[in-house]
Chains A and B, each alone.
Chain A
């Protein structure tokens, strides 16, 4: 299926000081997936390519369409994304501001929930998001991460 799974041990040490055990458990058992619009020609990405996309370094897909990054604002998917990128929230945000204020990038779309992100990706060519695998529905497809 090519989903992104959080390493439970890493997750435990990273968030233990801040979170209750129930929340912790739900974070660490969540299965996340990178999704794109169902019509996209993208079927797989390398880990480095995934980072380039979500850090704004890659702005155009190979078919010429614009990369539209969608970020879930909070919750397990947001945390998974930051963990995957090796950034904290501030570093992630600063990186995007550097692009926006030098003209090299556009701010990602931001959604309140996984469902909203999935809905947006399903209707938008070039959109990509990292969401909870269990919430995926028609109109999107999962990208294999190599």
Chain B
């Protein structure tokens, strides 16, 4: 009879189902997903080249395996490849790989889990699900809080995490989490590499992050469906090293110490340079209210960083000596969004498998003086249709204003204040 138990997830009222290849009945489970999308924009290129005929470089593929080898210990690994225009390029990487141990507390009121490895840190309401297209209606999470620029810092942490769950009779339940670790950040490609290139390290040779730490407090309130969450992350000393060519007096970011170094205004110098992101802090507060088929969500984030740019300049009159030059830069960004999602009742009727989501989001960099470059505002409308429990299609349209999130390297002919996004995506999971 046990054979009648399948692992077809899951429930339900939808008659259609897809085979799930999972594992022996007690332990190992294997799951995966594949997404493919199409993206086109007007006004500005994003993630590389997206204007004109658009791009199909919008996909994710993942495969995971999890098991519980002994009581209270859970282990697992997920390999992910993604392509987001010029980022990712479908290079397989370890998305998460960790062991999680649930500590016996002897009290149902508390539970404590310890995690070691590479794990999703639980930042903000939806950061853990950035690459999980099947968990939302929209193609992209609202950029006001989930900008792709620092994706690699947020997406997972290599280190340790402790989670404490507290259940109360009258106040709902709380989850308190803290982590410490670091990240592996590729100097070859990715939004962080691009950010450092924009900051002045054109030929990157390495990016190293000394430490990141943070945590969250989540509250499942006594009101059914309402949860609130506050999270924060701090990264210290993310250091990029490489070289750059400067035209002295034009794009040279340092006070020119000539004539001591013999630098001539207008001359081109190729210098070893590094950027140290001394402090990076991101804090987010938000709430989600799910009532019936409606889900209302809103989040506010505050991001701050301080960077120090260093270049070693040889003394042109005495090459055996060098001068270390430094300059600092700061950024403080605030962003927010509000979204409303509606799911038609998902009963067997094929006409009842739609979801519609609308959102407004904005983000503002208070340190940038150029008005157009200092902000982003956008309206999002997305529609999703679930063909089966494991296969969906979705479409998204964005109306955007502002160029804060536009990479000037993708738009050498200039940036447009107004720009739109159209995206299609389909996802299969098992």
User: Which residues of A are in contact with B by a Cβ distance under 8 Å?
Assistant: 18, 48-49, 52, 57-60, 62, 64-66, 70-74, 78-79, 81-82, 86, 88-94, 96-98, 100-104, 106-113, 115-117, 119-120, 123-124
Q: Mark B91-124, 1 if CB is under 8 A from A, else 0.
A: 0000010101010101010010000000110000
Q: Which residues of A contact B68 (CB under 8 A)?
A: 66, 106
In the bound assembly, the distance between CA atoms of A110 and B33 in angstroms comes to: 20
Q: Which residues of A contact B5 (CB under 8 A)?
A: 70, 109-111, 116-117, 119-120
In the bound assembly, the distance between CA atoms of A92 and B78 in angstroms comes to: 22
Judge whether A49 and B9 touch: CB under 8 Å.
Answer: no
Judge whether B6 and A111 touch: CB under 8 Å.
Answer: yes
Taking A90-B346, A97-B135, A106-B66 as contacts, is the C-beta distance between A60 and B72 under 8 angstroms? yes
Judge whether A116 and B120 touch: CB under 8 Å.
Answer: no
Tell me, yes or no, whether B225 is within 8 Å of chain A by CB: yes
Judge whether B31 and A101 touch: CB under 8 Å.
Answer: yes
Judge whether A94 and B10 touch: CB under 8 Å.
Answer: no
Which one of B11-19, B44-52, B313-321 is at the interface?
Answer: B11-19
Judge whether B355 and A64 touch: CB under 8 Å.
Answer: no
Taking A88-B293, A116-B4 as contacts, is the C-beta distance between A102 and B129 under 8 angstroms? yes
Tell me, yes or no, whether B415 is within 8 Å of chain A by CB: no
Q: Which residues of A contact B33 (CB under 8 A)?
A: 101
Q: Mark B14-31, 1 if CB is under 8 A from A, else 0.
A: 110000101001000101
In the bound assembly, the distance between CA atoms of A56 and B267 in angstroms comes to: 64
Q: Which of A59, A103, A104 has the largest number of chain B CB atoms within 10 A?
A: A103
Judge whether B12 and A93 touch: CB under 8 Å.
Answer: yes
CB contacts under 8 Å to A, within B319-373, are 343, 345-347, 349, 353, 355
Q: Which residues of B contact A113 (CB under 8 A)?
A: 4
Judge whether B4 and A111 touch: CB under 8 Å.
Answer: yes
Tell me, yes or no, whether B299 is within 8 Å of chain A by CB: no
Q: List 5 A-B contacts (CB under 8 A).
A: A65-B71, A88-B292, A93-B389, A98-B135, A109-B25
- Min distance, Cβ A116 to any Cβ of chain B, angstroms: 4
- Min distance, Cβ A12 to any Cβ of chain B, angstroms: 16
Judge whether A107 and B12 touch: CB under 8 Å.
Answer: no
Tell me, yes or no, whether B310 is within 8 Å of chain A by CB: no
Judge whether B11 and A98 touch: CB under 8 Å.
Answer: no
Q: Smallest CB-CB separation from A100: which chain B residue?
A: B31
Judge whether A93 and B11 touch: CB under 8 Å.
Answer: yes
Q: Which of B1, B76, B106, B132 contacts A120 (CB 8 A)?
A: B1
Q: Which residues of B contact A104 (CB under 8 A)?
A: 100, 120
Q: Which of A48, A79, A119 contacts B173 (CB 8 A)?
A: A48
- Min distance, Cβ B39 to any Cβ of chain A, angstroms: 22
Q: Which residues of B contact A100 (CB under 8 A)?
A: 9, 29, 31, 64, 66
Taking A62-B108, A98-B129, A120-B5 as contacts, is the C-beta distance between A110 and B10 under 8 angstroms? yes
Taking A59-B102, A64-B72 as contacts, is the C-beta distance between A78 and B1 under 8 angstroms? no
In the bound assembly, the distance between CA atoms of A111 and B8 in angstroms comes to: 8
Tell me, yes or no, whether B62 is within 8 Å of chain A by CB: yes
Q: Which of A60, A91, A110 contacts B6 (CB 8 A)?
A: A110
Q: Smallest CB-CB separation from A66: which chain B residue?
A: B68
Judge whether B62 and A101 touch: CB under 8 Å.
Answer: yes
Q: Smallest CB-CB separation from B32: which chain A residue?
A: A101
In the bound assembly, the distance between CA atoms of A75 and B386 in angstroms comes to: 21
In the bound assembly, the distance between CA atoms of A97 and B429 in angstroms comes to: 9
Q: Which residues of B contact A98 (CB under 8 A)?
A: 128-129, 132, 135
Question: Which 10 A/B pairs are nearest by Cβ-Cβ distance?
Answer: A119-B1, A116-B4, A107-B9, A64-B71, A103-B76, A90-B346, A60-B102, A120-B5, A89-B12, A102-B120
In the bound assembly, the distance between CA atoms of A116 and B25 in angstroms comes to: 14
- Min distance, Cβ A16 to any Cβ of chain B, angstroms: 12
Q: Which of A52, A72, A108, A119 contacts B9 (CB 8 A)?
A: A108
- Min distance, Cβ A38 to any Cβ of chain B, angstroms: 16
Taking A64-B72, A88-B343, A120-B5 as contacts, is the C-beta distance between A81 and B128 under 8 angstroms? no
